[in-house]
Amino acid sequence: MKIRQDAWSEENDLLLAETVLRHVREGSTQLNAFEEVGDVLNRTSAACGFRWNAVVRQQYEKALSLAKKQRKQRSRALEKKVLYTPQTDGITMADVIGYLQSLESIDMLKAENNRLREENEKLQHKLQKIEQSSETMQEDYETLMKIMNRARKFVALDDEDPAAVTFKMERNGNLEKMAE
């Protein structure tokens, strides 16, 4: 009996089975396993797939179902790790120092802002007093001008009439009639 040169040996079948089971366990596909074995054995991935489904798979059914279970357990474990893995942003000491300095500068700016508000309130109060004082001075000036104008009129009348009444201004700004 003549043996084909390209016939599958037991070692080839074993390599195919181990590779397929490893890929299934790791979550990869059987097609990827067929391509990997095809590269090693110098066969097409279709030939490896045919050999797996036609001959080798029946011998490794239990191992294949175990590999699928292991894949599920592995994926669940990875999900749990992902769910419970705390985020590490890689905060450095420089980041912490920078943050604290920014907090300090914020506090300083708030204090400066409060100081400027108080100063602004004081200056507004002072301005209000000055405006009131200016208003009072303006009223006093206008009153004085009225008094001066009246005095001029009396003086002008006095020049015309020598017997006219004369007045004297007191310190408080009142005019007092002088005795003749």
Residue 151, in any domain of the structure? no
- Kindly report, residue by residue over 105-146, the tens digit of the pLDDT: 898 999 999 999 999 999 999 999 999 999 999 999 999 999
Domain of residue 53, residue span = 10-84
On whether residue 136 sits in a domain, the answer given is no
The model's pTM is: 0.44
Does 114 fall in a domain?
no
Considering its fold, how many domains does the chain have in total? 1
Q: pLDDT by residue (tens digit) across 7-51?
A: 899 999 999 999 999 999 999 999 999 999 999 999 999 999 999
36 Cβ partners below 8 Å, 6+ apart? 19, 23
Q: At what angle do helices 10-25 and 61-84 cross, to 10 degrees?
A: 30
Whether residue 74 is contained in a domain is answered as: yes
Residue 110 lies in a domain: no
Q: Give the other-Cβ count within 10 Å of 24's Cβ.
A: 20
- Residue 89 falls within a domain, yes or no? no
